[in-house]
């Protein structure tokens, strides 16, 4: 070991030499370097074996007290650790104990982030084994507060920051990232962070949190994940005036300036990582979100969780609910409150699935789906003034300007809330749904809880227990007339980790809508008879790794079927293959 370290250090000395000393061929190439590279600038990278103190400071390899006696001898750790040797299970127990003692979720979040910086495998072990408890800490809602306080709570930078200052140099910035083999990038421009609006550069918490879920829930290796924040300024006055703000202190660049930076970014990513790297757009404002997805969908492997992930998870809930509601998908009529990224994305995927199942053109199946926005029912007379993504939903109907009248006029069997405005499914609206349907399906998707269109309790009591209900934010079980009702949570985390894994294991080069349908069908297929008996339309989250493997397998199968997969030959059993590819947080033994 010692000789290896010396050799490597020797190698570093060579590379550290001033490259100019060999330029011009005047200096003899004593180190045997390729003469053809003499006049090129090179990246001074080194490979080293971590041991001793540096091993303890390397989060990817550190095991803390879990280093065995043999490892302590072999890796120069004697004396650097107290005598006890702990198991990973004991470390997990101790950490969960201390995390549970914190009163505030943000303190728990910080403890988790510190753990990630210290001991990556232990971080993922905790997250995987305690997923239901820690998901709201590492991701929404706590991550929102973390983004708001990002400048003050972080001591070490996470992820990669690309700002307008890096224009013209984005490829070089990507090369600064220490990992070469990247499979998934989550990128935000911070303009619409959860329901919190423009948080500028502080949006970094979102890509970091999403990628932690990619690893914990979908099994993508942490080293293959790259969080990126693109900083084009912020329109958040409070941040602009905050002396501790970490981002560019200017108003957001828009139009051509914005488009050029994004284009350089997209080009550099493909140049640096190739065709198979997944770029997930996250929390972009809706005009940019739709445009980026449309613009790069044909040239890059791109996915927008707010639009496509939400659509897939909601469609899964609707497919599963058919078992309880009866009838085929095309027998149902859908009414949405809210026609933004979530609403129109879900509507389109439902129309596509309906079209596939009934062999009717999608232009026809769209007519079973109606949307209400802040100006009322979307109808043909409004077409000219509608944003382009709302136009396919402008069906023939007289104007209707409120939700209750729209329910009465359209007579939907399914009511979906995606408006971001709380308490909009009023008692009258919910009662109208119950009077029209034996079992109304009501989905109140807006987050956080305060923005939910109605609560689980309201849905069950106002429909006298008839409703099948699911929501974006979780609700506790509700007792109504002696019966306990458990509602489902349409959480995107059901879909995107497995979806991404499916793309990665098949080496897919493009996302196709049929892959989203495949993901929805796989998720719906994981709802058991027992879950149905309890009125649930989503499987328990505790099985998420198994669920992700099934989603990944279905998505990969579709990629092979569509000729979009490059990892050949196709593995025979894709579920087994997906499981075998998943990252395990269990410590490895060191020679």
Catalytic machinery residues = 139, 210
Note whether 531 binds ligand NAD by CB under 6 A: no
Q: How far is the CB of 451 from ligand NAD (least distance, A)?
A: 5
Binding mask 193-212 for ligand NAD (x = CB under 6 A): --x-----------------
Note whether 451 binds ligand NAD by CB under 6 A: yes
Given 174, 325, 337, 518, the residue binding ligand NAD (CB under 6 A): 337
Given 228, 372, 441, 519, the residue binding ligand NAD (CB under 6 A): 372
Note whether 490 binds ligand NAD by CB under 6 A: yes
Tokens of 164: 């307008």
Note whether 304 binds ligand NAD by CB under 6 A: no
Note whether 310 binds ligand NAD by CB under 6 A: yes
Residues 188, 150: contact at Cβ < 8 Å? Answer: no
**Which 8-state DSSP code applies to residue 186?**
E
Residue number of the CB atom closest to ligand NAD: 340
For the chain, report the end-to-end CA distance as a whole number of angstroms. 10
Residues 167, 263: contact at Cβ < 8 Å? Answer: no
In the complex with ligand NAD, the residue whose CB is nearer, 282 or 341, is 341
Pick the stretch among 433-441, 442-450, 544-552, 568-576 that binds ligand NAD (CB under 6 A).
442-450
Given 159, 203, 412, 472, the residue binding ligand NAD (CB under 6 A): 472
Note whether 419 binds ligand NAD by CB under 6 A: yes
- Other CB atoms closer than 10 Å to residue 281's CB: what's the count? 23
Q: Tell me which H or E stretch contains 225.
A: strand 225-231
Tokens of 462: 């106002």
**Which 8-state DSSP code applies to residue 252?**
P
Note whether 554 binds ligand NAD by CB under 6 A: no
Note whether 144 binds ligand NAD by CB under 6 A: no
Note whether 420 binds ligand NAD by CB under 6 A: yes
Q: How far is the CB of 343 from ligand NAD (least distance, A)?
A: 5
Task: Report the sign of the C-alpha dihedral through residues 488, 491, 496, 497, in that order.
Answer: negative
Task: Report the sign of the C-alpha dihedral through residues 316, 319, 321, 323, in that order.
Answer: negative
Q: How far is the CB of 516 from ligand NAD (least distance, A)?
A: 14
| Alpha-carbon span 21 to 24, nearest angstrom | 9
Tokens of 35: 């003469």
What burial class does residue 20 get, using C-beta atoms within 10 Å of its C-beta: 0-12 exposed, 13-18 middle, 19+ buried? exposed
**Which 8-state DSSP code applies to residue 193?**
-
484 φ, ψ (degrees, to nearest 5): -100, 130
Note whether 445 binds ligand NAD by CB under 6 A: yes
Given 43, 359, 374, 385, the residue binding ligand NAD (CB under 6 A): 374
Given 65, 106, 330, 421, the residue binding ligand NAD (CB under 6 A): 421
Given 189, 198, 341, 458, the residue binding ligand NAD (CB under 6 A): 341
Note whether 306 binds ligand NAD by CB under 6 A: yes
Residues 506, 556: contact at Cβ < 8 Å? Answer: yes
Q: How far is the CB of 217 from ligand NAD (least distance, A)?
A: 15
Tokens of 22: 């060999």
Size, binding site for ligand NAD by CB under 6 A: 28
**Which 8-state DSSP code applies to residue 179?**
-
Note whether 535 binds ligand NAD by CB under 6 A: no
Note whether 446 binds ligand NAD by CB under 6 A: yes
Note whether 492 binds ligand NAD by CB under 6 A: yes
Site for ligand NAD in 256-295 (CB under 6 A): 286
Q: Write the CA distances from 103 to 114, 143, 274, 297, 558, integer angstroms.
A: 17, 16, 45, 44, 46
Pick the stretch among 40-48, 336-344, 392-400, 431-439 that binds ligand NAD (CB under 6 A).
336-344
Note whether 315 binds ligand NAD by CB under 6 A: no
Given 338, 507, 571, 585, the residue binding ligand NAD (CB under 6 A): 338
Q: How far is the CB of 444 from ligand NAD (least distance, A)?
A: 9
Pick the stretch among 147-155, 324-332, 487-495, 577-585 that binds ligand NAD (CB under 6 A).
487-495
Tokens of 446: 């807006």
Note whether 373 binds ligand NAD by CB under 6 A: yes
Note whether 339 binds ligand NAD by CB under 6 A: yes
Given 190, 343, 498, 585, the residue binding ligand NAD (CB under 6 A): 343
Describe the strand order of the beta sheet including 184-188 as a list of residue ranges: 160-163, 225-231, 184-188, 278-281, 301-304
Binding mask 63-102 for ligand NAD (x = CB under 6 A): ----------------------------------------
- Counted residue by residue, the chain has a size of 591
Q: DSSP string covering 522-536, please? A: HHHTT--HHHHHTT-
Q: How far is the CB of 422 from ligand NAD (least distance, A)?
A: 9
Pick the stretch among 369-377, 456-464, 476-484, 501-509 that binds ligand NAD (CB under 6 A).
369-377
Q: How far is the CB of 93 from ligand NAD (least distance, A)?
A: 32
Note whether 418 binds ligand NAD by CB under 6 A: yes
Dihedral over alpha carbons 494, 95, 158, 205 (to 10 degrees): 50
Q: How far is the CB of 109 from ligand NAD (least distance, A)?
A: 19
Point out which residues pair with 160 in neighbouring strands. Answer: 228
Pick the stretch among 11-19, 115-123, 439-447, 456-464 that binds ligand NAD (CB under 6 A).
439-447
| Alpha-carbon span 28 to 33, nearest angstrom | 10
Alpha helices in 305-418 (DSSP H): 310-325, 341-358, 362-365, 403-410
- Other CB atoms closer than 10 Å to residue 589's CB: what's the count? 8
| Alpha-carbon span 370 to 255, nearest angstrom | 32
Residues 38, 25: contact at Cβ < 8 Å? Answer: yes
The residues binding ligand NAD (CB under 6 A) are 195, 286, 306, 310, 313, 337-343, 372-374, 418-421, 424, 445-447, 451, 472, 490-492
């Amino acid at each position: 070991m010692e000789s290896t370290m010396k050799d490597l250090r020797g190698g570093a000395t060579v590379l550290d030499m001033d490259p100019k000393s060999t330029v011009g061929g005047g200096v003899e190439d004593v180190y045997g370097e390729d003469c053809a590279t003499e006049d090129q600038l090179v990246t001074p990278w080194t490979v080293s074996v971590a041991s001793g103190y540096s091993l303890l400071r390397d989060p990817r390899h550190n095991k803390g007290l879990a280093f065995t006696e043999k490892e302590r001898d072999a890796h120069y750790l004697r004396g650097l650790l107290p005598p006890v040797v702990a198991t990973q299970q004991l470390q997990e127990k101790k950490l969960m104990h201390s995390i549970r003692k914190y009163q505030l979720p943000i303190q728990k979040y910080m403890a988790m982030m510190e753990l990630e910086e210290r001991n990556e495998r232990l971080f993922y072990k905790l997250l995987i084994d305690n997923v239901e408890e820690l998901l709201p800490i590492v991701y929404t809602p706590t991550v929102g507060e973390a983004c708001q306080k990002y400048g003050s709570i972080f001591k070490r930078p996470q992820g990669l920051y690309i700002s307008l200052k890096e224009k013209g140099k984005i490829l070089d910035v990507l090369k600064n990232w220490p990992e070469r083999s990247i499979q998934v990038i989550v990128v935000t421009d911070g303009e619409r962070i959860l329901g919190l609006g423009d948080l500028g550069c502080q949006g970094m918490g979102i890509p970091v949190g999403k990628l932690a879920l990619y690893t914990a829930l979908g099994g993508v290796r942490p080293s293959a994940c790259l969080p990126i924040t693109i900083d084009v300024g912020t329109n958040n006055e409070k941040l602009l005036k905050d002396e501790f703000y970490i981002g560019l202190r200017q108003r957001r660049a828009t139009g051509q300036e914005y488009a050029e930076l994004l284009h350089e970014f997209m080009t550099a990513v493909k140049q640096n990582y190739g065709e198979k790297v997944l770029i997930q757009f996250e929390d972009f404002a809706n005009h940019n979100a739709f445009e980026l997805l449309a613009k790069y969908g044909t040239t890059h492997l791109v996915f927008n969780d707010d639009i496509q992930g939400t659509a897939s998870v909601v469609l899964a809930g609707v497919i599963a609910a058919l078992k309880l509601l009866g009838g085929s998908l095309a027998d149902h009529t859908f009414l949405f409150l809210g026609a933004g990224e979530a609403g129109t994305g879900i509507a389109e995927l439902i129309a596509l699935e309906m079209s596939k199942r009934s062999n009717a053109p999608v232009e026809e199946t769209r007519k079973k789906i109606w949307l209400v926005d802040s100006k009322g029912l979307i109808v043909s007379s409004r077409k000219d003034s509608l944003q382009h993504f709302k136009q396919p939903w402008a069906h023939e109907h007289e104007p209707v300007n409120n939700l209750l009248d729209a329910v009465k006029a359209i007579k939907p069997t399914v009511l979906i809330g995606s408006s971001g405005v709380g308490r909009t499914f009023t008692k009258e609206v919910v009662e109208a749904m119950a009077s029209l349907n034996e079992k109304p399906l009501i989905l109140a998707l807006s987050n956080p809880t305060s923005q939910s269109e109605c609560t689980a309790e309201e849905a069950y009591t106002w429909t006298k227990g008839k409703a099948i209900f699911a929501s974006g934010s979780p609700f506790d079980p509700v007792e109504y007339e002696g019966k306990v009702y458990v509602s489902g949570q349409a959480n995107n985390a059901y879909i995107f980790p497995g979806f991404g894994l499916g793309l990665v294991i098949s080496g897919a080069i493009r996302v196709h809508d049929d892959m989203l349908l495949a993901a929805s069908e796989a998720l719906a297929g994981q709802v058991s008879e027992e879950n149905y008996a309890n009125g649930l339309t989503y499987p328990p989250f505790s099985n998420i790794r198994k669920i992700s493997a099934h989603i990944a397998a279905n998505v990969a199968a579709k990629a092979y079927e569509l000729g979009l997969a490059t990892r050949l030959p196709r593995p025979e059993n894709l579920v087994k293959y997906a499981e075998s590819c998943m990252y395990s947080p269990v410590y490895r033994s060191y020679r």
